[in-house]
A and B are shown apart, each in its own frame.
Chain A
Amino acid sequence: MKTFFLTLVSLTLISAGALAESPNERVHVLQKRDYSVKNKIEVGGLFAMSVDDIFTQHYAGVLTLDYHIDEAFALEFTWLSCKIPFYMGDKVSDDPAAYTGGWLRSGHSYTDAYYNIKDDAQLSPSNADLAMISNYWGLNVEFSPIYGKFSLFNWGLARADFYVTAGGGVVTTEYMRPDKSWVDTGLYFMGSFGMGFRIFLARWFAIRLDMRDLTFAAKVEGEAGATGTTTETKIRSTLFVMLGVSFLFGGEEPVQIWSPY
């Protein structure tokens, strides 16, 4: 009888193992989610550069502050800065709108295409195409539906969170006139959306790679006409690639649930 009981226990254990390996298991489809972000606060520092502008080139520092409401949703505050905020440099005499540039605009530059079209072809892009983002302060919602594991040549395992973000905020933009003086175009609303992933190196530390598209209405001086200078507005969209690190604080220990994947 006891032998029969032990055999039954053994069979139960074996069958439990077999059932647990069923490919139809749908609760936590990846086993051992080692990195949880729920209720964590994440502070990130990233370097950003614009990649799709034809005539302008931005280099920026980015500070992010995320609160992860759960594993999938987070609220993020973003500060992207190409220049010291609210400081314009020295004012150009007799022109209240214009300032001279300098080291404070080291995150702003024009591409070779700008000099090519201006100097070689003697053509002029509109001022709206030359406007550059100085500072952006925004609030985003981050949705992170994908968690993944990767092996590189089967050497080691990396874990990553993929996310999409959408939000908006305020931006200051400036542009440079042909006489190399800078004009502040003011503070106005800007929309943002993007995607990215964080690769967890520890439960408190991750590498982040982001792509953010920032869309704004560049409102600049147009052609000088008989009745004075006109105002020109153009919807501009600038794509930034960002790379940096983030630190995670607080939160919960991850719950490890077995799955066949």
Chain B
Amino acid sequence: MRSGRSLRAILVAAVIVASSAPARADEPVVANQLYDMGGKFEMALSPVSMSIVDKYTRHFGFSLGFDYFFNDYLGIELDAGYNYINGDRKLLNEILRTAQTLDGIHKLPLTDLKHMTWFTNIGLVFSPLYGKLDFSSEFAVSMHLYFVAGAGVAQYQYTELEDDPGNPEFGSFKKVTKTYTGGLTGAAVQPTFHFGGGLRFHITQGWGIKLEIRDVFFYDKYEADWKPAGIDVQQKTIKDFVHIVFLRLGVCYTF
């Protein structure tokens, strides 16, 4: 009888210990998901926003975002930003400085010359992956990987060449910045599309850090100058999608 009672007590203890073990078939595969975005709002500030893999332009700026998550996987975002530095890369200036064939050319027949000043857009946030990272076996950080896609509007600028004999930098011309008015609308504000992805690192229940790459693009169509025979300047229509890829680092607050 006593041995039966002992067996029961051990069984009870074993059941209690076993019930505290995390691995059960019907539980999440990553045990203890500490951060769930479902039904929450998020505000994000990215003070570091810079363009990467550029051809002829460069950008530095900041952005603000406001998101709502329907569940842990899907949300909607409003996003806006301003590039306080936007212009041509040094590489383009080097090429223009050594060029011998620019007489009569005012609008360069090149794609990807447009640089963005400001933008605002709306999009969907798709967050299929939740994970935990172990930093040197010292502390654990939970994270979400997410993808974004959507549309919006933005303003672009570009540089034209104007005759300026004796210009100290380029010799016979100078660069003048103009607001771009071509594209789909012919207006100063262009429709844009974007896609990208990023990581949200959860530091506390409210605060996190976001690292994101986002490609913003628009349809570029404008009349450029070119010299097919090397002498007479003619008009040529340049059509292309101009992509600007931004790398953003910022903080976010979830509530």
Contact = CB atoms under 8 A, between A and B. Distances in A.
Contact of B9 (A6, A120, A123, A152): A6
Interface residues of B, number: 54
Nearest to A129: B91
A145 B129 contact: no
A17 B16 contact: yes
B143 to A, nearest CB: 8
Nearest to B105: A121
Interface stretch (B61-69, B106-114, B147-155, B173-181): B106-114
Contacts of B12: 10
Contact of B110 (A2, A52, A116, A147): A116
A170 interface: no
Contacts of A153: 73, 128-129
A124 B98 contact: yes
A147 B226 contact: no
29 contacts: A9-B10, A10-B9, A29-B134, A30-B132, A30-B140, A33-B134, A51-B53, A113-B55, A116-B111, A117-B95, A117-B110, A120-B226, A120-B236, A121-B108, A122-B226, A126-B94, A147-B133, A147-B134, A147-B137, A148-B131, A150-B30, A151-B30, A151-B131, A153-B73, A153-B128, A154-B28, A154-B29, A261-B132, A261-B134
Interface of B: 2, 5-6, 9-10, 12-14, 16-17, 20, 22, 28-32, 52-53, 55-56, 73, 91, 94-96, 98-99, 101-102, 108-112, 128-140, 143, 145, 226-227, 230, 236
Interface of A: 2-3, 6-7, 9-10, 13-14, 16-18, 20-21, 26-31, 33, 51-52, 54, 72, 113, 116-117, 120-126, 129, 145-157, 162, 239, 259-261
